[in-house]
Structure 1
Amino acid sequence: MANNYAGDEAALQLQDLLMSTDNVEDFLGRLAEFSAVTLSRTTGAEIECGVTLQRRKRMTTVAGSSPHAVILDRIEHSYGDGPCILALRIKEVVLLADVDEDPRWPGYQRELADKGCHSTLGVPLEIGPDAAAALNFFASDTGLFTEEAIAAAAGFADLAGRALRLAVRMGTMQTRAEDLQAAMENRTSINLACGVVMAQNRCSQDEAMAILTRVSSNRNQKLRDVAADVLRNLTNEEVRTHFDA
């Protein structure tokens, strides 16, 4: 019951974070702080968190729970490999339990040790088909990323991923609705301009459209802009089409 309660609390807090941010990068910044605090409570020690965002195979550090976390996260990018990047690649949690003992990334691990970090945890976070992110946790000591801590990190990363995927889908739907409305408005402007040309030239609709298309080609101007010019010249003001949402 306690785990379920904690999960419910985390879900509510993540929803609040999502509702109070304007874009993915802003949310990931707030998520870094939330994740660091949450895992610090779980481990009983200070944990820092950096966030790596991957878009079209390009990876960048977009946020951190502290300036130091950002520096630590960027070290991995300078080497092009490490637990966070591996987590993104295989879509599984990757633990670097001891930078002095693990043989996988010697150069990267030496730099971490020089900056006071002795263990890390990379946790993937799925956003959508064209983007992914990973939470990169840093600890100044070893032995802190226990099974409980790893499960907690993976749990709220999964919750955050679900929230982000929903937000992305909603954003995509909103964009499509806005694109459709813009297309309808452009089509209406063109039809209105076509009617003006028909009246001025006493011609058919097809002939009027041919005139507008020819002007568009000659001016190297989009048809909707030609239509807007026709209507503006007729009324001496901008003509706007309106659709109720």
Structure 2
Amino acid sequence: MTNSPEHELLLELQDLIIGTGSVADFLGGLSIIAASALSRSAGATVECGVTLKHARKTTTVGGSTERAVHLDRIEQAVGDGPCLAALKAATPVLLADVRSDPRWPSYQERLIEEGIHSVLGVPLELGENAAAVLNFFAPATGVFTEETIGEAASFADVAGSAVRLAVRVGTAESAADDLSAAMMSRTAINLACGIIMAQNRCSQTEAMSILMKVSSHRNQKLRDVADEIVRKVSGEEAATYFDM
């Protein structure tokens, strides 16, 4: 039995998720697959950048080439264009000819300088708090036909579930990192309080008060002051022993 193109794409994306360590890495790999798929469909070389919107902030997080990342960042710098329009409208947005389209003149002038003459933004559905868009760049007009746009939209539909998984994984990793950092901070502060209590024969509340006064006087973070005290006494960084 021959696998369908959609099934083959899902397998490729599954391997990509397993093989990457972050959302940015995953989206960078996704842009390479997307550029290759659309280049085959269009019969021309197409580059792809990826923009991720999370917590009201849009950021270029990957591209099929270094140039694609650069091209995607131009729109971020200008603040408007087909990629951001596709994010807002939740539908593909085509800039068919940068020389004649009147919508984004500042952005289009930059594209002409880069030798890009048409752009296609295709959004990916990620859920309530995040969204992404594939930004396809072509050096000529007439590359993004109705058929090619349909191919890009189909790719986005298949890839959307994989991207949602990658974003969830990244969010979980970020939360774990935050928890780990908080526990390390708490450990250093507790150890420093213990040292101050032993040296000054005072209570934990008094030790914490001393620590906070030193932090305020030096204009240093409490964790940094605590780390310094622990290093002076033990010669080592504070260490937290736990399994994540």
Q: Normalising to structure 2: TM-score of the pair?
A: 0.71
Structure-1 separation of matches of 2:219 and 2:74: 49
Q: Cα distance, 1:90 vs. partner?
A: 0.9
The answer to whether the 8 A contact 1:51-1:73 is kept is yes
Partner of 1:220: 219
Partner of 2:206: 207
The answer to whether the 8 A contact 1:185-1:242 is kept is no
Gaps spanning 5+ residues in structure 2: where? Answer: none
Partner of 2:159: 160
Give the 3 Å change call, closer, same or farther, for CA 26–242 of structure 1 in structure 2. closer
Partner of 1:230: 229
Structure-2 separation of matches of 1:78 and 1:238: 41
Partner of 2:132: 132
Q: Cα distance, 1:227 vs. partner?
A: 2.5
Partner of 1:90: 89
Map Cα deviations across residues 61-97 of structure 1 (whole Å, 9 max, x no partner): 9534695x7788788789876544432331102346x
Q: Cα distance, 1:170 vs. partner?
A: 1.5
The answer to whether the 8 A contact 2:47-2:136 is kept is yes
The answer to whether the 8 A contact 1:231-1:239 is kept is yes
Partner of 2:175: 176
Give the 3 Å change call, closer, same or farther, for CA 167–29 of structure 1 in structure 2. closer
Gaps spanning 5+ residues in structure 1: where? Answer: none
Structure 1 residue ranges (4+ consecutive) displaced by more than 6 angstroms after TM superposition: 69-80
Give the 3 Å change call, closer, same or farther, for CA 22–185 of structure 1 in structure 2. closer
Identical aligned residues as a percent:
48
Structure-1 separation of matches of 2:97 and 2:57: 27
Partner of 1:10: 9
Structure-2 separation of matches of 1:28 and 1:236: 42
Q: Counterpart of 1:132 in 2: which secondary structure?
A: strand
1:53 corresponds to 2:51 = yes
Letter of the structure 2 residue corresponding to residue 7 of structure 1: E
Give the 3 Å change call, closer, same or farther, for CA 26–142 of structure 1 in structure 2. same
The answer to whether the 8 A contact 1:127-1:133 is kept is no
Structure-2 separation of matches of 1:106 and 1:218: 52
Give the 3 Å change call, closer, same or farther, for CA 224–87 of structure 1 in structure 2. closer
**Larger-Rg structure:** 1
CA RMSD of aligned residues (A): 4.1
Map Cα deviations across residues 95-122 of structure 1 (whole Å, 9 max, x no partner): 46x649x86659759x87xx695x6543
Structure-2 separation of matches of 1:150 and 1:65: 21
